[in-house]
């Protein structure tokens, strides 16, 4: 029987959304004293329960706003659940927001030590693996450039290289296999798969059903903060595609195009003239001719006299 490493028991996460915006601390205290602060409760997660055994690779599927990232943050200890309990056994390395701990004024090399300290790596360990981190990130000479000059892809690559240098017991991945260009994505996915071979437990969030199929052995579906399905990866992925992806595909009615008359080869299409315009032009011409003829006749009469 496999050893249980993660147990999520009836977990819920509530956020208080203020009904009116408070711009500064002074205004907040005034409203607080007058008891004028009103909150609206929003449950990002509600009644979530499941277990993960050692060596399981659990994929988490759901549309935007379903609560996937919130669930991972609670398991990683970044957020505290409003209700329920979570028991985790083993060292966790969460890859949630790559590069979130970087200081923009520091160089890439300095941020390796800073970000490593945030993840709990000893300085001696970073010294041993420094060259390996730089090589995997493919930053080269840019490692000595301040991070404020990095692109978002460069930051993500450096963050991924630091975070995956240690082999954890539980690995949490939140859309991190989509960082960088196609070459680096392939390389990062290979590193993750190599870690899987060593029997680590994985929680993986992705919008790519194919990635979930390729990486995970089991999957769950979250919908509006609730757990709606849990089972083998192929079965859950098929259910997700049928229930959520196909519903989003809306067939738009095709507009009917007016058919133009085709002319025979060697001939030109001549647009029919407007009959009303022709009649008006004719009347104007006749009126002008009458005026001209009447003018000539009056002149002739004057000359004759």
Q: What is the pLDDT of residues 40-50, one digit of tens each?
A: 888 999 999 99
**Within a domain: 221:** yes
SS3 content of the chain, % helix, strand, coil (to 5): 45, 25, 35
**Within a domain: 172:** yes
- Phi, psi at 58, each rounded to 5°: -95, 120
Q: Is the pLDDT of residue 156 over 50?
A: yes
For residue 300 the two structure tokens come to: 């002739």
- Phi, psi at 192, each rounded to 5°: -65, -45
Rounded to whole angstroms, how far apart are CA atoms 168 and 121? 12
**Within a domain: 163:** no
For residue 225 the two structure tokens come to: 């903060």
pLDDT classification of 231: cutoffs 50, 70, 90: very high
Alpha carbon separation from 21 to 24, 39, 118, 130 (Å, rounded): 9, 11, 33, 46
Comparing C-alpha atoms, which of 152, 135, 231, 234 is closest to residue 187? 135
- Phi, psi at 65, each rounded to 5°: 85, 5
Say if residue 23 is exposed, middle or buried (CB neighbours under 10 Å; 0-12, 13-18, 19+). exposed
Distance in Å from the first CA to the final CA of the chain: 134
User: What predicted TM-score, i.e. pTM, was given to this entire model?
Assistant: 0.68
**Within a domain: 226:** yes
Mean pLDDT of the chain: 78
Q: Is the pLDDT of residue 279 over 50?
A: yes
The CATH number covering residue 174 comes to 3.40.50.300
Range of the domain at 242: 4-91+168-248
Rounded to whole angstroms, how far apart are CA atoms 69 and 41? 19
Q: Tell me, what's the pLDDT at 237? A: 92
Q: Report the number of distinct structural domains present in the chain.
A: 1
Q: Tell me, what's the pLDDT at 267? A: 43
**Within a domain: 82:** yes
Name the least confident of 70-84, 119-133, 240-254: 240-254
pLDDT classification of 286: cutoffs 50, 70, 90: low
The answer to whether the CB of 9 falls within 8 A of the CB of 75 is: no
Q: Is the pLDDT of residue 160 over 50?
A: yes
Q: Tell me, what's the pLDDT at 214? A: 85
**Within a domain: 284:** no
**Within a domain: 257:** no
**Within a domain: 65:** yes
How are strands ordered across the β-sheet holding 83-88? Answer: 39-53, 4-18, 83-88
């Amino acid at each position: 029987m496999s050893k249980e490493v993660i147990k999520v028991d009836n977990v819920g996460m509530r956020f208080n959304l203020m009904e009116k915006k408070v711009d500064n601390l002074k205004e907040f205290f005034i409203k607080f004293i007058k008891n004028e602060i009103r909150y609206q409760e929003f449950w990002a997660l509600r009644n979530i329960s499941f277990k993960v055994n050692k060596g399981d690779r659990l994929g988490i599927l759901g549309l935007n706003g379903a609560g996937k990232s919130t669930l991972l943050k609670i398991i990683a200890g970044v957020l505290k659940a409003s209700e329920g309990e979570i028991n985790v056994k083993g060292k966790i390395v969460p890859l949630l927001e790559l590069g979130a701990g970087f200081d923009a004024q520091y160089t890439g090399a300095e941020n390796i030590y800073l970000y490593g300290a945030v993840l709990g790596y000893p300085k001696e360990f970073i010294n041993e693996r420094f060259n390996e981190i730089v090589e995997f990130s493919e930053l080269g000479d840019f490692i000595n450039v301040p991070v404020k000059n990095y692109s978002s892809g460069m930051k993500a690559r450096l963050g991924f290289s630091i975070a995956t240098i240690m082999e954890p017991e539980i690995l949490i991945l939140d859309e991190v296999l989509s960082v960088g260009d196609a070459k680096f994505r392939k390389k990062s996915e290979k590193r993750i798969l190599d870690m899987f071979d060593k029997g680590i437990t994985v929680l993986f969030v992705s919008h790519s059903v194919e990635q979930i199929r390729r990486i995970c052995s089991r999957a769950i579906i979250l919908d509006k903060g609730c757990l709606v399905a849990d089972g083998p990866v192929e079965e859950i992925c098929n259910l997700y595609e049928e229930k959520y992806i196909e519903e989003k595909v809306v067939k738009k009615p095709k507009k009917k195009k007016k058919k133009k008359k085709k002319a025979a080869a060697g001939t030109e299409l001549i647009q029919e003239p407007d009959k009303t315009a022709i009649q008006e032009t004719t009347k104007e011409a006749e009126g002008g001719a009458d005026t001209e003829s009447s003018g000539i006749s009056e002149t002739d009469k004057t000359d004759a006299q």
